[in-house]
Amino acid sequence: MKKGFLALETGHIFEGQLIGTEKEAAGEVVFNTSMTGYQEIVTDPSYAGQIVTFCYPLIGNYGVNHVDNESTKLNLSGIIIGELCETPSHHLSETSFNEQLKLAGISGLAGIDTRSLVKLIRAEGTVKGHIVAEPPQTDELNSKPYWQTPFMEKSFHTFWVDKVAGNKSAFYQGNGPHVVLVDCGYKKSILDALLNKGCSVRVVPYSTTFDEINKMKPDGIVISNGPGDPLALSGYLNEFKKISSVFPTLGICLGHQLLALAYGATTKKLKFGHRGGNHPVKDLVTGKVYMTPQNHGYVVTNENLKKTGFDVTHINVNDRSIEGLKHSFYPIQTIQFHPESHPGPSDTEYLFQQFIQQLVQSGDMNYAIT
Ligand SMILES: NC(=O)CC[C@H](N)C(=O)O
């Protein structure tokens, strides 16, 4: 394997071996603490613009299959791992992780001391990084243009430029409530969670207007997860507000942030984000704490929240940040974490159940939730 380097905005350089397509890559360097689920992570659209460091030391050991992809593409900019396993063992495995990276045109580095990299990110905050074949010169490392790309500010729109060509609205017939899934870069597991409960689901792009959605006569709306800074969608907030003030709405991750912004809340960037499979979240209504899968760099803040009509329903037990909101007047529930899991625990799947129950009741439907 060829030598390769991770150069960080802080001036630190890590040496490892190039994997995947062995091309140069750049992005915001983040870390994920999940012990399994690398296939779901690399295919989760929310990582667009980011280089993901896997904290778990061995990656690739159970290979890659055709059922666990969260989207049809690998959306992240690169990956960083400790040890790459090239001899996977799993009854579903069809190819190796390295092969998957190559086919998708994604580069990465193996043999990196991920523990010290993660400690650095925790101390310095999320940093920009370049995966390169030659160690960069000091003057390059110190030059502003090298670090100028605003990965997170532009990742949503860059992701959609790539996606639009192959993405059409789709309809999936079920025998339950009709849900419009507003696609901001949705994970397949969100669609599956709704379909498994019998819903009919229409997937529409994030730019679909209230009038267009109204004509579809949905029973409810789910606004999905997605990449980048939620403020990149400022131009669409009015429509999200109109849609959610008429139809029962569930917002997940980016969808949660967008609904909060639409009603006048603010968002900020976390120092190093929440990405992993065991983030404890307290449901303030029941007092129960759930383990949740998470993947986000931005959060809704308490500032202005009173004026929005939203009440906090869930908080993060580690840093007390906002994890869920419910509107006091409109039927809107939003959550910062991922009830659809994949990867991670499905303890909060009950939120889909609650949402669908609400649609059934408001639509006066004769339908049993599975
Ligand atoms: N998973 C998501 O939807 C992430 C939302 C947003 N891009 C963030 O990083 O905070």
Q: What is the pLDDT of residue 108?
A: 98
Q: Prior bond to 343 cis, omega within 30?
A: yes
Catalytic (active-site) positions: 253, 338, 340
Ligand 1 centroid–CA 321 distance in Å is 14
> Of all protein residues, whose CA lies closest to atom 5 belonging to ligand 1?
254
Atom of ligand 1 nearest to the CA of 184: 3
Question: 100 a known binding residue?
Answer: no
Question: 226 a known binding residue?
Answer: yes
**Average pLDDT along the chain, 370 residues, taken 10 residues at a time:** 95 97 96 98 98 98 97 96 98 97 98 98 96 88 85 91 70 96 97 97 97 97 98 98 98 98 98 98 97 98 97 98 98 98 95 96 75
Ligand 1 centroid–CA 18 distance in Å is 28
List phi, psi (to 5°) of 234.
-55, -35
Ligand 1 centroid–CA 45 distance in Å is 9
Question: 295 a known binding residue?
Answer: yes
> Options 3.10.110.10, 3.60.15.10, 3.40.630.40, 3.40.50.880; which CATH number does 163-362 get?
3.40.50.880
Nearest to 250 by CA among 352, 180, 333, 328: 333
Ligand 1 centroid–CA 252 distance in Å is 9
Q: Ligand 1 pocket test: pick from 153, 225, 233 the residue with the most ligand atoms within 8 Å of its Cβ.
A: 225
List, chain by chain if needed, residues with CB within 6 Å of any ligand 1 atom: 46, 225-228, 253-254, 295-298
Question: 174 a known binding residue?
Answer: no
Domain ranges for the chain: 3-149, 163-362
Q: What is the pLDDT of residue 145?
A: 84
Nearest to 44 by CA among 90, 95, 15, 79: 79
Specify the fold of 3-149. Glucose Oxidase; domain 1 (3.50.30)
Q: What is the pLDDT of residue 137?
A: 85
Q: Ligand 1 pocket test: pick from 254, 272, 275, 316 the residue with the most ligand atoms within 8 Å of its Cβ.
A: 254
Cα–Cα distances (Å) from 199 to 133, 188, 352, 357, in that order, read 49, 15, 11, 11
Record the pTM: 0.96
Question: 230 near 270, Cβ under 8 Å?
Answer: no
- β-sheet bridge partners, residue 8: 129
Question: 175 a known binding residue?
Answer: no
Q: Ligand 1 pocket test: pick from 252, 295, 336 the residue with the most ligand atoms within 8 Å of its Cβ.
A: 295
Ligand 1 centroid–CA 88 distance in Å is 30
Cα–Cα distances (Å) from 345 to 197, 290, 292, 337, in that order, read 18, 9, 6, 11
Q: What is the pLDDT of residue 144?
A: 81
**Cα distance between residue 74 and residue 99, in whole Å:** 12
Nearest to 334 by CA among 356, 353, 311: 311
Here the tokens at position 121 are 């990110």
Q: What is the pLDDT of residue 47?
A: 98
145's CB contacts (< 8 A; 6+ apart) are: none
Torsion angle of the four alpha carbons 258, 164, 47, 77, in this order, in degrees rounded to the nearest 10? -140
Output b/e per residue, 128-161; b: 16+ Cβ within 10 A.
Answer: bbbbbeeebeeeebeeeebbeeebbebbbebbbe
Cα–Cα distances (Å) from 201 to 21, 174, 177, 192, 205, in that order, read 36, 8, 8, 10, 13
Torsion over CA: 230, 235, 236, 240 (sign): positive
Q: What is the pLDDT of residue 142?
A: 80
List phi, psi (to 5°) of 258.
-70, -40
**Cα distance between residue 220 and residue 200, in whole Å:** 11
Here the tokens at position 89 are 């063992």
Cα–Cα distances (Å) from 320 to 115, 264, 315, in that order, read 25, 21, 5
